[in-house]
């Protein structure tokens, strides 16, 4: 049986014929290469975090404090990274995180990442702020494990419409992101005065929505002025600072799909999510883009797992960059992780092919890291796999 780690052997084989990988093999290398080719605004939008970016840095430091203690001679010939999440089989416990405004980065945009994940058998989470409509993305990968991420707008009928469209289009879960009813203070974007949505980038799901359109006095396609007014209306309804836990209960009336709440850091919020009908939570600080000074997502994970891990699925994102990071998150109780910025850089460098390169890379790294640490299956890792090292 083939393993994801076999990709290393294939690269070395091609090296004998003088061929080298066209794209960088590390997350850092991908970021550096993307910085060199992307427009300054697009790179800043992807790479940037909130304010001093110390939470972005803390997300990485948190992984560095945990060390894996490898175990030897445990018979790991037959290995399997596959898993089941919310009742659906997946090739590995890695999903692509929802990322908005991808059209800035590459024309393949949301279609590129969804097809790349589908090709490998991974689930992908489509952002509300996608550059293509959720129906177009569904048509591009009809049988894939697609989840839909919801930013809950101020207009409840629009929220309902988006959720119903996602269910109709075959998305398999709704991920409600609760940490971004407004964008955080992001100096890199502020310096370039760049907010893609105001240029009409990343609002395809709104412009195509019957409820959203019913609020406009003219179809956005009709004229530059009509589009301008549509964008203004988007800005007025996007965020919902008034949303509170009881509001979530209505989701159950709108959809039969499993519901995940993304952006959870505190165990009491995880309990509240479950008490209000969630089937799981994503521990995340949005990659350090919202509350600067916030605790690293990985450091929030164990308390959330203790609070709700026996009842619902607990996923993690914010700072996943390599196979060891995935192992550490799983060992601390996550059932799966979401990969963010690295695949966006791959998309920027080479479209769908670039995303596939990044996903196959992290899967190869995870397969080899798990096996060399003595685990044939990721379900075997746990607190016993790690020690906490004092760093610095």
Instruction: Give the nearer residue to ligand FNR in terms of CB position, either 346 or 374.
Output: 346
Q: Which stretch binds ligand FNR (CB under 6 A): 87-95, 214-222, 284-292, 307-315?
A: 284-292
Q: Which of 141, 121, 124, 84 has its CA nearest to residue 4?
A: 121
Burial of 36 (0-12, 13-18, 19+ CB in 10 A): exposed
- Give the active site residues: 286
- 284 belongs to the binding site for ligand FNR (CB under 6 A): yes
Nearest-angstrom CA–CA distance, 167 and 255 = 7
- 44 belongs to the binding site for ligand FNR (CB under 6 A): no
Q: Point out which residues pair with 386 in neighbouring strands.
A: 68
Q: Which stretch binds ligand FNR (CB under 6 A): 135-143, 154-162, 216-224, 285-293?
A: 285-293
- For ligand FNR (CB under 6 A), the number of binding residues is 21
**Residue in 114, 144, 177, 335 binding ligand FNR, rule: CB under 6 A:** 177
- 292 belongs to the binding site for ligand FNR (CB under 6 A): no
Q: DSSP string covering 266-317, please?
A: SHHHHHHHHHTT-SEEEE--GGGTS-TTPPPHHHHHHHHHHHHTTTSEEEE-
Instruction: Give the nearer residue to ligand FNR in terms of CB position, either 97 or 259.
Output: 97
CB of 14 to ligand FNR, least distance (A): 29
CB 357 within 8 A of CB 23: yes
CB of 80 to ligand FNR, least distance (A): 25
Nearest-angstrom CA–CA distance, 296 and 225 = 43
CB of 322 to ligand FNR, least distance (A): 11
CB of 50 to ligand FNR, least distance (A): 11
**Residue in 3, 132, 233, 262 binding ligand FNR, rule: CB under 6 A:** 262
Nearest-angstrom CA–CA distance, 49 and 36 = 19
**Residue in 4, 45, 148, 206 binding ligand FNR, rule: CB under 6 A:** 45
Instruction: Give the nearer residue to ligand FNR in terms of CB position, either 129 or 373.
Output: 129
- 184 belongs to the binding site for ligand FNR (CB under 6 A): no
Quickly list H helices, 107-181.
Answer: 109-120, 134-140, 156-168
Nearest-angstrom CA–CA distance, 62 and 319 = 9
Cα 251–Cα 257–Cα 263 angle in degrees, nearest 5: 65
**Residue in 318, 335, 352, 369 binding ligand FNR, rule: CB under 6 A:** 318
Q: Which stretch binds ligand FNR (CB under 6 A): 91-99, 183-191, 241-249, 305-313?
A: 91-99
Instruction: Give the nearer residue to ligand FNR in terms of CB position, either 52 or 223.
Output: 52
- 98 belongs to the binding site for ligand FNR (CB under 6 A): yes
DSSP three-state, residue 224: helix
- 99 belongs to the binding site for ligand FNR (CB under 6 A): yes
- 323 belongs to the binding site for ligand FNR (CB under 6 A): no
- 115 belongs to the binding site for ligand FNR (CB under 6 A): no
Residue whose tokens read 């490898």? 70
Site for ligand FNR in 121-150 (CB under 6 A): 127, 129, 149
- 173 belongs to the binding site for ligand FNR (CB under 6 A): no
Nearest-angstrom CA–CA distance, 136 and 111 = 8
Task: Give the tokens for residue 392.
Answer: 């610095």
Q: Which of 174, 382, 180, 379 has its CA nearest to residue 280?
A: 174
Instruction: Give the nearer residue to ligand FNR in terms of CB position, either 340 or 351.
Output: 340
**Residue in 106, 172, 233, 286 binding ligand FNR, rule: CB under 6 A:** 286
Nearest-angstrom CA–CA distance, 91 and 81 = 6
Question: Where is 148: in which H helix or E strand?
Answer: strand 146-150
- 97 belongs to the binding site for ligand FNR (CB under 6 A): yes
Nearest-angstrom CA–CA distance, 342 and 350 = 13
CB of 212 to ligand FNR, least distance (A): 17
- 319 belongs to the binding site for ligand FNR (CB under 6 A): yes
Q: Which of 359, 331, 338, 335 has its CA nearest to residue 347?
A: 359
Q: Rule CB under 6 A: which residues touch ligand FNR? A: 45-46, 97-100, 127, 129, 149, 177, 262, 284, 286-287, 289, 317-320, 340-341
């Amino acid at each position: 049986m083939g393993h994801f780690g076999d990709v290393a052997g294939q690269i070395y084989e091609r090296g004998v014929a003088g061929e080298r990988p066209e794209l960088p093999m590390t997350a850092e290398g991908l970021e550096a290469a993307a910085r060199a080719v992307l427009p300054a605004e697009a790179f800043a939008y992807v790479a940037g975090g909130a304010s001093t970016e110390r939470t972005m840095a803390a997300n990485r430091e948190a992984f560095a404090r945990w060390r894996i203690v490898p175990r030897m001679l445990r018979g790991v010939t037959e290995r399997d990274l596959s898993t089941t999440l919310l009742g659906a089989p997946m090739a590995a416990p890695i999903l692509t995180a929802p990322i908005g405004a991808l059209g800035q980065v590459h024309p393949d945009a949301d279609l590129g990442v969804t097809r790349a994940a589908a090709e490998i058998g991974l689930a992908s989470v489509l952002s509300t702020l996608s550059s293509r409509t959720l129906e177009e993305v569904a048509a591009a990968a009809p049988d894939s494990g697609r989840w839909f991420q919801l930013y809950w707008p101020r207009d409840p009928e629009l929220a309902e419409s988006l959720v119903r469209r996602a269910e109709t289009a075959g998305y398999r879960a709704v991920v409600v992101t609760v940490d971004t009813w407004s964008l955080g203070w992001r100096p890199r974007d502020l310096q370039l005065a760049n907010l893609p949505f105001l240029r009409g980038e990343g609002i395809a799901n709104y412009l195509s929505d019957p409820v959203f359109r019913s609020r406009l006095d003219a179809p956005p396609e009709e004229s530059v002025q009509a589009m301008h007014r549509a964008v203004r209306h988007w800005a007025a309804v996007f965020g919902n600072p008034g949303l509170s836990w009881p509001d979530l209960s209505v989701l159950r009336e709108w959809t039969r799909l499993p519901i995940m709440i993304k952006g959870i850091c505190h165990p009491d919020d995880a309990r509240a999510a479950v008490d209000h009908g969630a089937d799981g939570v994503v521990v995340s600080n949005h990659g350090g883009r919202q509350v600067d000074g916030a605790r690293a997502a990985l450091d929030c994970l164990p308390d959330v797992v203790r609070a709700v891990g026996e009842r619902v699925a607990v996923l993690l994102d914010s700072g996943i960059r390599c196979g060891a990071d995935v192992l550490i998150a799983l060992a601390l109780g996550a059932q799966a992780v979401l990969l963010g910025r690295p695949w966006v850089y791959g998309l920027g460098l080479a479209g769908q092919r670039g995303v596939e390169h990044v996903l196959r890379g992290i899967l190869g790294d995870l397969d080899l890291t798990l096996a060399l640490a003595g685990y044939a299956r990721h379900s075997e890792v746990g607190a016993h796999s790690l020690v906490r090292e004092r760093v610095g």
